[in-house]
Amino acid sequence: MSDLVSRDQAKERLDKLRQEIVYHEKKYYRDNDPQISDYEYDQLVKELEALEADHPELITPESPTQRVGEQPIEGFTTVEHRLPMLSLDNCYSPEELTDFQDRIRKLIPDEPLRYVVELKIDGLGISIFYREGKFAQAITRGDGQRGDDVTHNVKTIKSLPLTIAELSEVEVRGEIYMPFLSFQHLNQERQDREEAPFANPRNAAAGSIRLLDPKEVAKRRLDALLYSTYIAGAETESQWENLQTLNQLGFKTNAWNRRCENLEEVTALYTELLQKRDELEYDVDGVVIKVDSTAQQHSLGHTAKFPRWAISLKFPARQATTRINDILIQVGRTGALTPVAVLEPVKLSGITISRSTLHNEEEIRRKDIRIGDTVLIERSGDVIPKVVSAMKEKRTGGEVEFVFPSHCPICGTQVFKPEEEVVSRCVNSSCPAVVRESLLHFASRRAMNIEGLGEALIDQLFNEGQIREIADLYNLELEKLETLERMGQKSSQNLLDEIEKSRQRNLPRLIFALGIRHVGERTAQVLAARFKEMEVLSQASIEELVEVEDVGPIVAQSLVFFFQQPKNQELIQKLRDAGLNFSLKREESTEEQTLAGKTFVLTGTLSGLTREEARSRIEAQGGKVTTSLSAKTDYLIMGEDPGSKLQKAQNMGTEVLTEEEFLQLISS
**Tens of pLDDT along 636-649?**
998 877 777 888 88
Among 307, 412, 324, residue whose Cα is nearest residue 368: 324
Amino acid found at 563: F
* CATH topology identical between 319-416 and 432-577: no
Coil, strand, or helix at residue 543? helix
Query: Considering only the top CATH level, what class is 319-416?
Result: mainly beta
* Catalytic residue chosen out of the listed positions 16, 120, 314, 480: 120
Amino acid found at 245: T
405 burial (CB, 10 Å; 0-12 / 13-18 / 19+) is: middle
Q: Are 153 and 214 in contact (CB under 8 A)?
A: yes
DSSP states along 128-169: EEEETTEEEEEEE-TTSSEEEB-HHHHTT-TTS-SB-S--S-
Coil, strand, or helix at residue 587? coil
Q: Has residue 579 got a pLDDT over 80?
A: yes
Strands 624-626 and 599-603: parallel
Share of the chain above pLDDT 90, in %: 45
pLDDT of residue 350: 62
Helix (H) or strand (E) run with residue 544 in it = helix 542-546
DSSP states along 17-51: HHHHHHHHHIIIIISS---S-HHHHHHHHHHHHHH
pLDDT of residue 503: 92
pLDDT of residue 403: 94
Q: Has residue 267 got a pLDDT over 50?
A: yes
pLDDT of residue 326: 96
Q: Which CATH number applies to 432-577?
A: 1.10.150.20
Range with the lowest mean pLDDT among 22-31, 51-60, 127-136, 167-176?
Answer: 22-31
pLDDT in tens, 50-107: 888 888 888 887 788 877 655 555 568 888 998 888 888 888 889 999 999 999 999 9
- Residue 402 is given by DSSP the state P
Range with the lowest mean pLDDT among 12-16, 137-141, 327-331?
Answer: 12-16
pLDDT in tens, 139-193: 999 878 888 899 999 999 999 999 999 889 999 999 999 998 888 888 888 877 7
Q: Has residue 5 got a pLDDT over 50?
A: no
Q: Show Cβ contacts of residue 180 under 8 Å, excluding neighbours closer than 6 positions.
A: 201, 281, 282, 283, 381, 382
Among 303, 307, 372, residue whose Cα is nearest residue 343: 372
Q: Has residue 221 got a pLDDT over 70?
A: yes
pLDDT band at 224 (very low <50, low <70, confident <90, very high): very high
pLDDT of residue 526: 86
pLDDT of residue 4: 47
**Cα 651 from Cα 134, distance rounded (Å):** 39
Domain 90-314 annotated CATH 3.30.470.30: yes
DSSP states along 240-279: HHHHHHHHHHT----TT-EEESSHHHHHHHHHHHHHHGGG
Mean pLDDT of 111-140: 94
Query: Considering only the top CATH level, what class is 599-667?
Result: alpha beta
Sign of CA dihedral 207, 209, 213, 216: positive
pLDDT of residue 591: 53
Share of the chain above pLDDT 70, in %: 93
pLDDT in tens, 228-265: 999 998 999 999 999 999 999 999 999 999 999 999 99
* Fold of the CATH domain 2-67: Helix Hairpins (1.10.287)
pLDDT in tens, 431-490: 889 889 899 999 998 899 998 898 889 999 988 989 988 999 999 999 999 999 888 889
State yes or no: is 624 an active-site residue: no
Alpha carbon 546 to its chain centroid, in Å, reads 25
Alpha carbon 131 to its chain centroid, in Å, reads 32
Q: Are 175 and 227 in contact (CB under 8 A)?
A: yes
Domain boundaries, the chain: 2-67, 90-314, 319-416, 432-577, 599-667
pLDDT in tens, 389-441: 999 999 999 999 999 999 999 999 899 887 778 889 887 877 889 889 899 99
